[in-house]
Every structure is written in structure tokens, then in C-alpha cells.
Amino acid sequence: MGEDAIIHRITGAFVHTAAGSEVAVGGDKTRAVAIDRVRWDETLAEQAQAAGAGLIRARLINVERVNSHVRLHTQTDGRDSVFTARIVVGADGAHSRVARSLGLPGPAEKVYCLGIEGRLKVPREDFVRVFVGHELAPGWFGWIIPTGDGGVRAGIGSSNAVKPIACYRRLTQLFPRLFDGIESCRLYGGTIPLDFAPQSYAGNVLLVGDAAGQVKPFSGGGIYTGLVAARHASAAVLQAFEKDDCTAAGLAPYERAWKREIGRELLRSLRIRHFGLALSDSEVERVVRALRSEGLQQLASRHGDIDYPSRVLLRLARSLPALGLLAWITLRRPFATWSLLRANLPFPDYRGLDSSTQSRPSPLTRH
């Protein structure tokens, strides 16, 4: 990533529950960065053009498969254009037009988010704030992310019928001290897919990023996973051209490759998410309070990894201070705990990855 796209560095997080409990983790080193997304996209475009790519400013209307090629119908300033290609890579988001046009179903499990960019005085600009609880943010969480020099990004998400705007209002009402004086400069919203698309390839097409559900289910982040998948997509396209095989069979190595590198961690994270959704708010409250114990808080701070959340969870689960908490949760939520334990079991087929997580939300999920 170009350093000019990084606008702020994050070292830790405060986690808040709807009942008012709070725990701090991290604070010792850079755990994440806030970026200027416009500058980031511009940098990628500049690098692509420097490598020989052409940039066409147009809106995609439709994609159709014609014989052994794909035909892309686009529009620019009211003018229609048609492009023909042997392979199209759909990196066009959670509502991928490429996927819909070519009959590829998208991810089933999604959250809907609303946020603002604005200004707010915060006590620690290197810490984010995360707000959890079904009553507060059904199926997701709220956030305050400092971006440096008094800037923040604040918002909330929801995976059920509750509109994000209603969740955001409740968030600011429950935590008036933390949101006091916030100035909104820009409103934004979007959809985040949280499970894999059933298939990320077909004849003449690859799906990358949100279009394929290559997103961290625990945090909703997709830049790292999208870049990993893009690298494998590039290799698959080159191989298909070399072998003169742009069929589904010729492009299948793409899905095997990206799932081999990040598929297991994404599946683990999805199961961790389903475990969390199965807990009641009172149970979430007890977990957060337990994390305030010196031993667990130090473990979470030492081993926390935004790209690999299962690592810290597994270390916590094996620690002596967590055994009592784990036993208590197991008695109350045996099926949810089994789902969590399965996250550490190997699975044989990277293409299958447990179809139940691809076609529908987990039965443990609260809606």
C-alpha cells in the first residue's frame, strides 16, 4: 500500500456493550490503518496503467456470454459502447452486475451499514471504539474510528429488518458522552457480504472482492482479502490465456488457490461470528467483563490480529482464566460452542468449504 494513502494508524480498541461495560485491548503497536479510499483507488489505477492497462470511464449495463467470449455493454455520458473479451473479472461489489448478468449467485449473508465522516474530539486518537449487542446493532456492531487531526468515521450496521439509521440513533442515545459534539460532514452507506459466493468463477468470468464474498466476516474488511484474491485471479487469467482455455474448468484453479490461502481463516471467522450471534446480550456482557481480567486482557492485546481473529480466540480458549467462562457458555449454548470448536477443525475440500455457510445464514444466527 502506498504510504500516501494512509491517513492514520490504529493501535487498539475500546469494546463497549449496550449495558455499559468496556474493555480496552491493544495499544502497543499498529494494528490497523485508516486510509484515504479515493487516494487508494487512484493509486491502484495509476499502478495498473503504468503496467500497461487501459482505463475506460464507463458504467457497466450488462454482460452476456457469446460463444467463447463475453460481451460488455457500457454507457458513458448517454453513449452506448460494447466491448468484447475472453475473460471478464467482476470486482464490482456486493451487488455485482457481472455476477447477476452471467447467472452467478452472490453471497447470501449480508449486513447493511450507515456511517458518517465528521469531526469529534476523542481522548485517544489511536484507539477505535466498537459497540456490540443485539439490541444495539442486530447482527453487526457500531464504531468510531479516528482518522487523525480530529476527524472520525462513525457508524453502525445491521443484518436484519432494523434500519441502520434507527440503530445509529439508538447508538448515539445510549452513549451520549462519546458522541457529544460530533459534526457530520459526509454521510455514506453500503452493503457488506459476510459469506462466500457459492462459486467465484465460471466460463469466461472470475469474481473478486465483495462480489465473491472475500470479506473478513469478523470485521467486514475486504482490502487485504481482495488483494490476495486479485493476485490469484491474475495468475489464473494468465494461465488460461497460455493454455487457450477460458472455460470454467480452465478458470477453476483460481478458486482453489484463493481458498487455499485465505479460505480457512474466512470460514473460521464466519463461525466465530455465528457463535457471537448465538449469545444473548447478557452473555455478551459477561464475556466482555471476563476480558477485563488481567490475564485475558493481556492475551487479547498480545495476540490480537485483525486479519486472523481466530488466532487470538483459540489462544484465549486454551488459557486457564478462560476455561470457566468457556464451560459456562458450553452449558448454556452447546450447539453454538460446537460450531465455534469446528472452526479449528480442518476441512478437506477448499471448493466446498461447508456448503451450509454459503447458501444461507447459520441457524444459530439471531434475526
Q: What is the DSSP string of 143-181?
A: EEEEEETTEEEEEEEESSSS-HHHHHHHHHHH-HHHHTT
Q: Which residue has the cell 481473529?
A: 309
Confidence of residue 327 (pLDDT cuts 50, 70, 90): confident
Q: What is the mean pLDDT of the chain?
A: 87
CA-CA distances (angstroms) from residue 98 to 148, 191, 267, 276, 313? 37, 17, 25, 33, 36
CA-CA distances (angstroms) from residue 105 to 94, 174, 237, 270, 359? 11, 38, 21, 19, 9
Which is nearest to 310 in space by CA: 276, 348, 356? 276
Q: How many CB atoms lie within 10 A of CB 73?
A: 16
The pLDDT tens digits for 131-182 are: 999 989 999 999 999 999 999 999 999 987 789 999 999 999 999 999 999 9
Q: What is the pLDDT of residue 323?
A: 66
Q: Is the pLDDT of residue 358 over 70?
A: no
Grouping H, G, I as helix, E, B as strand and the rest as coil, residue 136 is coil
Q: What is the pLDDT of residue 349?
A: 43
User: Chain-centre distance of CA 9, in angstroms?
Assistant: 19
The pLDDT tens digits for 334-357 are: 877 777 666 655 544 444 454 333
Question: How far is Cα 339 from Cα 215, in angstroms, rounded to an integer?
Answer: 20
What is the CATH code of the structural domain delimited by 3-38+110-193?
3.30.9.10
Q: Which residues of 168-181 are buried (b: 16+ CB within 10 A; e: fewer)?
A: bebbeebbeebbee
Residue type (1 letter), 227: L
Q: Is the pLDDT of residue 4 over 60?
A: yes
Sequence-distant (6+) residues with CB within 8 A of 194 are: 107, 109, 110, 111, 159, 213, 215, 217, 220, 270, 273
CA-CA distances (angstroms) from residue 128 to 26, 27, 144? 10, 10, 6
Residue type (1 letter), 274: H
Confidence of residue 109 (pLDDT cuts 50, 70, 90): very high
Question: How far is Cα 254 from Cα 205, in angstroms, rounded to an integer?
Answer: 11
Task: Considering the chain, tell me which residue range(s) the CATH 3.30.9.10 domain(s) occupy.
Answer: 3-38+110-193
List Cβ<8 Å contacts ≥24 apart for 311-317. 313/272, 313/340, 313/343, 314/344
